[in-house]
């Protein structure tokens, strides 16, 4: 490995460590905000205040708060010298962490609701700090380093995203064509468990045979000739039954191949997730930046489109088509009762989770998007 490759590997490892450390502190800051909202009416935590909850619960809450606050403070001290390497989404996360930590003074002091006055407004100090960074002799090097880091983050995100899509598809198709199909074609007649779909397929074959008999009788009436004799009808039905049996056997075998190939694709997907856990962290930050970089109207539009497709009043038709396709792919009967039960429960659960996410997370990260969403929904 050359020096350039080694330096590239070192930079990617540093990027992953910074992203992971920042992500943990960001989750801790969100936890602190949640505690403030839930127990202190959206004000800073006050350990000396006796809450109307059991003392054991309050003690556990305060332990979680102190651990989260310590993690945020440690992260701020570690990332202070790497601020120029952060992208826009990570800078927003760091700003939230700084906002939370600033409410509780310096390390070691108890949280208090009072805040010491500042000599100058924070916004003015931010302007001075920005000018200082621009006049820094090493500002150009910092900008180039930040650009390289964002480029590496984008490349890593695109690579792991393609792997998550292509590896399961390739594994599924290759395993089905090269291994599963030849093996099952050879052993299918001798393995009973491969015929798990036959009862369902035999019922379909019986209905097709009954329809075929009615078609023969109808055709004879249309042509004005005598109906088929019992022997002629028996011969015709026997040939059709043999044809339907071969068709049912083929469908059962294809369904078994689909299941085994899907399992192979799932194994490939899990393997990519396990081997690329650090890359998945980078992908998460990349997607957060792409999503939260949208305008408020674009965010609200995407949310409404998603909810209307999956949990809207017209979504049952889509779920019915999807479940019918999955049942056909697996060679299973499309049970109407199961489909109706699924449609009556799953979209409701999905809508509840989505509303909770908007209330607990999006409402803090982007409150203007929530307001735009409510206006686009007619104030609901």
Mean per-residue pLDDT over the chain, rounded: 76
What local confidence, expressed as pLDDT, does residue 10 receive?
Answer: 39
Burial of residue 373 (CB within 10 Å: 0-12, 13-18, 19+) is: buried
Interval 257-290: pLDDT, tens? 888 999 999 999 999 999 988 888 888 877 877 7
Strand, helix or coil for residue 310 = helix
The counts of H helices and E strands in the chain are: 14, 0
pLDDT in tens, 335-359: 788 888 988 888 888 888 888 877 7
Q: What is the pLDDT of residue 115?
A: 43
Q: Tell the burial category of 93 from Cβ atoms under 10 Å away from its Cβ (0-12, 13-18, 19+).
A: buried
pLDDT given for residue 8 in this prediction: 46
pTM: 0.57
Cβ-proximal residues to 163 (8 Å cutoff; 6+ apart), any chain: 272, 276
Overall residue count recorded for the chain in this entry? 380
Q: What percent of the chain has pLDDT over 90?
A: 9
Query: Domain limits of the chain?
Result: 1-112, 143-280, 294-380
Which residues of the chain, if any, have pLDDT below 50? 1-13, 108-118, 122, 193, 380
Q: Select from 333, 315, 316 the least CA-distant residue to 324.
A: 333
Closest to 36 in 3D by CA, of 99, 118, 121? 99
Give the per-residue pLDDT at 126: 52
């Amino acid at each position: 490995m050359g020096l350039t490759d080694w330096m590239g590997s070192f930079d990617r490892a540093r990027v992953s460590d910074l992203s992971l450390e920042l992500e943990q502190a960001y989750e801790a800051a969100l936890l602190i905000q949640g505690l403030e909202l839930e127990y202190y009416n959206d004000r800073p935590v006050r350990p000396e205040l006796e809450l109307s909850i059991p003392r054991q619960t309050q003690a556990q809450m305060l332990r979680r708060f102190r651990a989260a606050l310590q993690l945020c403070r440690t992260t701020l001290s570690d990332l202070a010298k790497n601020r120029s390497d952060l992208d826009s989404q990570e800078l927003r996360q760091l700003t939230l962490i700084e906002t939370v930590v600033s409410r509780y003074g310096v390390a070691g002091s108890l949280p208090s609701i009072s805040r010491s006055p500042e000599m100058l407004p924070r916004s003015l100090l931010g302007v001075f700090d920005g000018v200082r960074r621009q006049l820094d002799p090493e500002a150009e090097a910092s900008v180039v380093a930040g650009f390289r880091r964002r480029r590496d983050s984008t490349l890593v995100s695109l690579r792991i995203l393609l792997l998550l899509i292509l590896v399961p598809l390739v594994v599924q198709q290759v395993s089905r064509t090269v291994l599963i199909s030849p093996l099952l074609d050879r052993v299918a007649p001798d393995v009973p468990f491969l015929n798990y779909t036959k009862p369902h397929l035999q019922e379909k074959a019986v209905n097709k045979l009954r329809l075929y008999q009615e078609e023969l009788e109808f055709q004879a009436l249309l042509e004005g000739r005598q109906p088929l004799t019992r022997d002629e009808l028996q011969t015709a039905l026997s040939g059709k039954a043999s044809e339907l049996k071969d068709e049912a056997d083929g469908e059962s075998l294809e369904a078994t191949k689909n299941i085994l190939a899907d399992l192979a694709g799932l194994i490939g997907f899990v393997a990519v997730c396990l081997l690329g856990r650090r890359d998945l962290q980078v992908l998460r930050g990349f997607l957060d930046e792409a999503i939260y970089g949208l305008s408020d109207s674009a965010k609200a539009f995407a949310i409404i489109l998603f909810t209307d497709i999956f949990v809207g009043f017209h979504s049952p038709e889509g779920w019915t088509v999807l479940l019918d396709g999955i049942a056909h792919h697996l060679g299973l009967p499309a049970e109407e009762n199961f489909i109706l039960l699924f449609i009556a429960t799953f979209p409701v659960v999905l809508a509840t989770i989505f509303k909770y996410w908007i209330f607990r997370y999006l409402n803090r990260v982007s409150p203007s998007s929530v307001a735009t969403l409510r206006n686009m929904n007619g104030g609901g």
